[in-house]
Amino acid sequence: MGRLLGRIWVGFTTSLIAFIAYSSQIFVIWPWYGSVLSIDLLKLLIPFNALVGMIFWNYFLTVFTDPGRVPRAWQPDTQSGEGYEVKRLSGSPRFCRMCNSYKPPRAHHCRQCRRCVLRMDHHCPWVNNCVGHYNYGHFIRFLFYVDVACSYHAAMITRRTLDVMNAKFWEGPDTVEFIFIILNYVTCIPVLLGVGGFSLYHFYCLLKNTTTIEGWEKDKVATLVRRGKIHEVKFPYNIGDRQNIEAVLGRNPLLWCCPSLPLGDGLKFSVVEANDENPQQAWPPEDPTEFRPHSDYADDEDNPLSLPKSPWTYANGSVNPALEPSNAYRRASKVQTKRKTRAGKRPAVGYTTGFVANVPPYHPNYTGPTDGTHENGLESEGGYASSSVSDADSDEYRYSQGGVRIRRGSEGLEVRPVDREEILNRYILTRGAEAGHYRRYVPEPVSSGEGVSSNEVENGELSVSNDNMYEEETLLTSVAKS
């Protein structure tokens, strides 16, 4: 996030807190007590202002406290015997390519801050800062005091509203007080619901000693365990509820609500002791079916890196036979090629016929035509357009589901494109006629058994009315399109 935009967010958050805190006291509570200082008024407002002061204090510390950065030239001590966090695949110490330095356990690179943050939880736009090792406790206290202060504020405004509802007409609030009662409800209730739900999640993370990023990792691990890909792995940093809270808020429970520094330097953390039942494993565990990049094979002696003989590889080293572009542009170009060919027109220079080879023409497995012409006699453009016009009618659509011909393309099953003219021809064939021709209907002559002599029929003396004898011509062509 930009520096200017981050300052705007911080200014907006500060203004919102100040509006909810002081507009209610000046325009609602003060007139309610008759604009006179009294003991009851002080009993009501002193606790509320104390909560507001703690909100501003912890918010200030969250914004301006450095969450923690990796010291220069820091390297994990691989000889200490205490263990260190390694890469999931190669087993080497974690290294940040953006910062060009090693990463301690639970540290991650923040794209907004452009550096690695110790015990990074997330980058919060409301504070224009990362929430990490040194300011996570301030962030938790800020959420806690926002919840308590908003609840206190909502209780005060609700009490005033109930008093107004029970009061007589001439004892009710004036227009300004009524407007600020509505505004305080509109601003306080959404903040209480939104921050309250967010607080519950972070209180749970505090209890389990989990960051937001590690929460995503735990969800992924749970999915792998549920699918049977890996065995259940215990989260190594969950050392107990009491110890988890003390690691962030301090050892003295009486000072948990007061700003204080966390335990440790953020470069190493206590983990669960390994035993026979719960052996210590790397976190997060590896997905056995996940593709391993070449860089992860560098230090793997069991799986050395072996390059294929050809750069055109797919699966076992061959070219993917189903790999070809199939999109709306290609289907439209096929239809246009058919229409131009049937009309006796030649495609313009640079016109694409719709066919795109799996590999370039200079590839050994290229199977396009070598004579420079299509199957329909049209010249190809540089050897790329090598498909016939009847490509859509080929055997590649050899599957059938519910009477619809489909094929298996590079992005899944594809339905065969059929234009309206082909649909009309199919309908004509079902009627027993030949497409593109007239069908003349001539009624049979009247038989001699209906009171007419055969001589009259043979001599053509029988006059037949237009109601009994007629000719009908029907053109079964593309006129039906209109």
Q: Which of 132-146, 261-275, 311-325, 371-385 has the lowest mean pLDDT?
A: 371-385
For residue 36, tell me if it sits in a domain. yes
Domain check: are 349 and 480 in the same one? no
Cα separation of 257 and 234, whole Å?
30
Q: Check whether 210 has a pLDDT greater than 70.
A: yes
Of the residues 110, 124, 150, 188, only one is catalytic, namely 124
Q: To the nearest whole number, what is the mean pLDDT of the chain? A: 74
Per-residue pLDDT band at 231 (split at 50, 70, 90): confident
210: its two tokens: 């989990």
Q: Helices 3-24 and 39-64 sit at what angle, rounded to 10 degrees? A: 170
Residue 308: predicted pLDDT: 56
List residues bridging with 414 in a β-sheet.
Answer: 407
For residue 23, tell me if it sits in a domain. yes
Q: Which of 208, 233, 264 is the last residue of a domain?
A: 208
Per-residue pLDDT band at 459 (split at 50, 70, 90): very low
Domain check: are 406 and 334 in the same one? yes
Domain check: are 113 and 39 in the same one? yes
List residues bridging with 404 in a β-sheet.
Answer: 401
Q: What mean pLDDT comes out for the span 460-481?
A: 42
Q: Check whether 383 has a pLDDT greater than 50.
A: no
Q: Which residues of 61-72 are buried (b: 16+ CB within 10 A; e: fewer)?
A: bbbebebbbbee
Q: pLDDT tens digits for 335-367?
A: 666 666 666 655 544 344 445 455 555 555 556
pTM of the predicted structure, to 2 decimals: 0.60
**Domain with 425 in it:** 420-441+472-482
H/E segment holding residue 56: helix 39-64
Which of 30-39, 95-104, 290-299, 471-480 holds the top average pLDDT?
30-39
Query: What percent of the chain clears pLDDT 90, i.e. is strictly above it?
Result: 37
For residue 449, tell me if it sits in a domain. no
Domain check: are 343 and 388 in the same one? yes
As for how many domains the chain has, the answer is 3
Domain check: are 76 and 187 in the same one? yes
Q: Check whether 101 has a pLDDT greater than 80.
A: yes
Domain check: are 179 and 49 in the same one? yes
99 is catalytic: no
Residue 208: predicted pLDDT: 93
Residue 374: predicted pLDDT: 42
List residues bridging with 386 in a β-sheet.
Answer: none
Cα separation of 112 and 115, whole Å?
8
Residue 373: predicted pLDDT: 43
Residue 233: predicted pLDDT: 83
